Amino acid sequence: MCWYISCFSRGWRWVVFLLELSGKIGVILESFFETLVVKLLFVQGRSIMGQALGCIQVDQSTVAIKENFGKFNDVLEPGCHCVPWCVGSQLGGYLSLRVQHLDIKCETKTKDNVFVTVVAAIQYRALAEKASDAYYRLSNTKEQIQAYVFDVVRASVPKLSLDKVFEQKNEIAKAVEEELEKASAMSHYGYEIVQTLIVDIEPDVQVKRAMNEINAASRLREAASEKAEADKILQIKRAEGEAEAKYLAGLGIARQRQAIVDGLRDSVLGFASNVPGTSSKDVMDMVLVTQYFDTMKEIGASSKSSSVFIPHGPGAVRDIASQIRDGLLQGRIDEV
C-alpha cells in the first residue's frame, strides 16, 4: 500500500513538472512565431515574404531574375509570380529597366599642351530581352562605360587645340557614342546607350584666366582701332567743313570787294560828271578819306577792337592812295 502511494506521489510530481515545462515551451514558441511574423511583414517584406510563401511581386519598369538551385531559370516580368522555394526555385535579384544617368570626368591634354577636364554625361538602360546578360555578365556597369569613355576622349582630344575642343564638342560626343555602340560593345552586355553628351570642358584655372585676358586685350585693341577710325573720320569731316567754310567765305569776300569796286566806280563817274573841273583822282582821294573816317569811327565805337593804324592821320590817306596807284602802275609795267 505504501509503495502505491509513493509511486502515485512521484507520478504526480512528474505531471506537474511536465505541465510547467509545456507552459514555458508554449511561451517560447509564441515569442518565436511573433518574431517570425514581424520579420515576414516588416523586414525586407517582398523578398522574405516571397521566399516564405512562394509568391513575389515585380514592380513596373523592373524585371526579376529567377534561379533554380543557383542556376538562371527565367526573367520575370512586372506582376505577381510563383517561386516555390520547396523545389529549389529562388529569386536571384531585380534589374531596373529605367534610363540611368552617369557623369564621367576625364582629364586629358590638348594638342597645344593644355590640360582640360572633359565632363561627359552618359544615359543608358538595360534591355528587357537581354536582362540575363545585363544581370550576370557585368559586375560593374558604370566602370565598364567609364573605360570606353576614357579611351575615346583621350584618343580624340589630344588631336585638337583648346579652341577646337570647344568648337567640336558635339563631334567628341558623337565619337564616344559610336565607340560605345561599335560592334555592339554595350548591347553585348545587355545595355543600350540612349544618349551621350559632353556637358562641360574645364581647362585649368590659370589657363582660363589667361584666355579671358587675351579676349579682353583683343577687344580693347578693337575698341582702340574703332575709336581711332572715328577720330580720323571726325577730323576729315571737320577739315572738309573748314575748307568749305573758307571757300564760301572767300566767295563772299570776293563778291564784297567786287561790289565795293563797282560802287566806287559808279560814285567816281557820277561825281566827275556832276561836278565840272574835278578829276577822277580828286574824287578817289575824297572817297578814300571818307572810308578812312568811317573806319576810325567803327574802331572807336567798338570796345573790343584790337586794330591799330600806324601812322594815322588825314595826310596819310594821300600817301596810301599814291602807294596803291604806284603799285597798280608797276604791275601793268611788269605785265608789258
What is the domain partition of the chain in residue ranges? 2-96, 100-203, 214-272, 279-336
62: cell is 523592373
pTM of the model: 0.49
pLDDT tens digits, one per residue of 248-269:
888 888 887 788 777 767 776 7
**46: amino acid identity, one letter:** R
Q: What is the structure's pLDDT at 4?
A: 47
User: Which residues lie below 8 Å from residue 242, measured CB to CB, with a gap of 6+?
Assistant: none
DSSP state of 140: -
Which of 200, 217, 198, 221 minimizes the C-alpha distance to 209?
Answer: 217
Q: In this structure, are residues 168 and 118 in contact, taking their beta carbons and an 8 Å threshold?
A: no
Distance from C-alpha of 82 to C-alpha of 93, rounded to nearest angstrom:
15
Matching residue, cell 585638337: 160
> What's the Cα-to-Cα distance from 295 to each of 3, 49, 308, 315, rounded to whole Å?
178, 127, 11, 15
DSSP one-letter code for 87: G
Across the chain, the runs of DSSP E, i.e. the strands, are 55-58, 62-68, 71-76, 79-82, 89-96, 100-109, 115-126, 191-203
pLDDT mean across residues, the chain: 75
**Topology of the domain covering 100-203:** Tetrahydropterin Synthase; Chain A (3.30.479)
Q: Which residue has the cell 599642351?
A: 113
Which of 297, 327, 325, 322 has its CA nearest to residue 309?
Answer: 297
DSSP per position, 147-187:
HHHHHHHHHHGGGS-HHHHHHTHHHHHHHHHHHHHGGGTTG
What distance in Å separates the CA atoms of residue 51 and residue 245, rounded to the nearest whole number?
107
Which ranges of the chain have pLDDT less than 50? 4, 8, 33, 36-46, 183
Q: Are 193 and 141 in contact (CB under 8 A)?
A: no
Q: What's the confidence (pLDDT) of residue 139? A: 82
- Specify the pLDDT at position 215: 79
